[in-house]
Amino acid sequence: MDGSSPAAPAVVDRRIRHGTPAFRRTNLALFSSGFATFGLLYCVQPLMPAFSHDFGVDAATSSLSLSLTTAVMAVGMLFAGAISDALGRKPVMLASLLSSSLLVLLTAVSPSWALLLAARALLGVTLAGLPAVAMTYLSEEVHGESLGFAMGLYIGGNAIGGMSGRLISGFTADHASWRVAVGVIGVLGLVAALLVAKGLPASVHFQSRSARPRALLASFGELLKDKGMPWLFAEGFLLMGAFVTIYNYVSFRLLAPPFSLSQSHVGAIFMVYLIGVGASAWMGSLAGKLGRGKVMWTAFVMMLVGVALTSSMSLWAIVTGIALITFGFFGGHSIASGWVGMRAKSAKAHASSMYLFSYYMGSSIAGSLGGVAWVHAGWAGVATYVAVLVAAGLAIAWKLRGLRPLAQVSQ
């Protein structure tokens, strides 16, 4: 014995990294859950005319099948994180996906408009349990060097799900009925729930927290005191508001002269939505390597150039502009959401909930105001309005370049 003290045991980092089986299982499960969540949410959008015909409601009333769900979902997200703090991440995500799929199947057999709306309102409650909690799970369980790519791939699943929900339901309704279409989406949700149950690794770094209302309010208050969080929440609002406004009203322009495109041609243009899959993963990964503050502002620059191109009278320029806006939106959303997860201290679920609340409120408020711009000033009004939103986001992103990282996390 030489009297020397034994070396301290090395600390093993158990966070999930690139290239491991756990990383592949995590990405498959969460990509599938994101795909299903947004398919379940948006599958009714192309079916609104069928709802009007079958239930005898006008177009504005038929839109409640989507707007009611998103409104309830935005509020529900404020509480989903707190529930997962008490019950665990994977159990809440699995329960959310399973119950949401069953509610969509109930929608498919609803005998009345009132019951259909009730099911869609409840869907807003159950769907809220997955997006915020999934982001929190990733920020807790995935290593910082791999987080950007994983978050981007999850958001890519959201993009494909939102687009596929519309395409699958519309195509199936044309060849069968809207009830069959909705039922198919519900079954796909059940398949995604099975993938989460079997493939998603159990949480290792989760620590249970109280779900008391006072503790919840205190956590939200702490987040708003942070020098970066309120600005990141604002970025989510501006990104979604600008993106939804473009997608809502460019169809009106392209269906009218001088373009006079058909509905099928307009739908084909929106296949550029797929660009969001690559954008979210690539920009999220790039931000993880170079720093989020150094990359996020470029997303807004791309969107600004895209808005300018949509004002052209060339159809190819307009399509290119939509593609740039889509790339910038998904890239910016990937960076901002990942940054929120990295910057949050112990209240990661609450931070994700607040971000997504702001994100969906951007869709509801800013997207609706875009309609006012269209009615009063046509596309010139829409483009100007969106440019103002994007310019505000760019100014905030530039400000965030100087945000000092928290000591305990890698920004």
Query: Residues 278-321: pLDDT tens digits?
Result: 777 788 778 777 788 888 999 999 999 999 999 999 999 999 99
Return the pLDDT at 411: 42
In this structure, the number of other CB atoms found within 10 A of the CB of residue 205 comes to: 13
Return the pLDDT at 222: 67
Return the pLDDT at 126: 92
Say how many CA atoms lie within 13 Å of 398 toward its Cβ. 8
Angstrom distance (rounded) from CA 55 to CA 46: 16
Tokens linked to 318: 């307009």
350, 239, 362, 337: which is closest to 287 by C-alpha? 337
In this structure, the number of other CB atoms found within 10 A of the CB of residue 111 comes to: 8
- Residue pair 366/387 in contact (Cβ under 8 Å)? The answer is no
- Residue pair 92/135 in contact (Cβ under 8 Å)? The answer is no
- Which residue's structure tokens are 């970066």? 228
Return the pLDDT at 218: 63
User: Exposure of 11 by Cβ count < 10 A (0-12 exposed, 13-18 middle, 19+ buried)?
Assistant: exposed
Angstrom distance (rounded) from CA 159 to CA 335: 15
Extended beta strands in 111-209, E state = none
In this structure, the number of other CB atoms found within 10 A of the CB of residue 115 comes to: 13
* Ranges of residues in the chain whose predicted pLDDT is under 50: 1, 8, 10-11, 407-411
Return the pLDDT at 122: 94
174, 204, 137, 203: which is closest to 348 by C-alpha? 137
pTM: 0.70
User: Exposure of 359 by Cβ count < 10 A (0-12 exposed, 13-18 middle, 19+ buried)?
Assistant: buried
245, 252, 259: which is closest to 382 by C-alpha? 245
Tokens linked to 16: 């999930």
Q: What is the set of domains in the chain, with CATH numbers? A: 15-200 (1.20.1250.20), 223-402 (1.20.1250.20)
180, 201, 224: which is closest to 350 by C-alpha? 224
Q: What is the DSSP letter of 228?
A: S
Angstrom distance (rounded) from CA 2 to CA 73: 65
- Which residue's structure tokens are 């990295």? 342
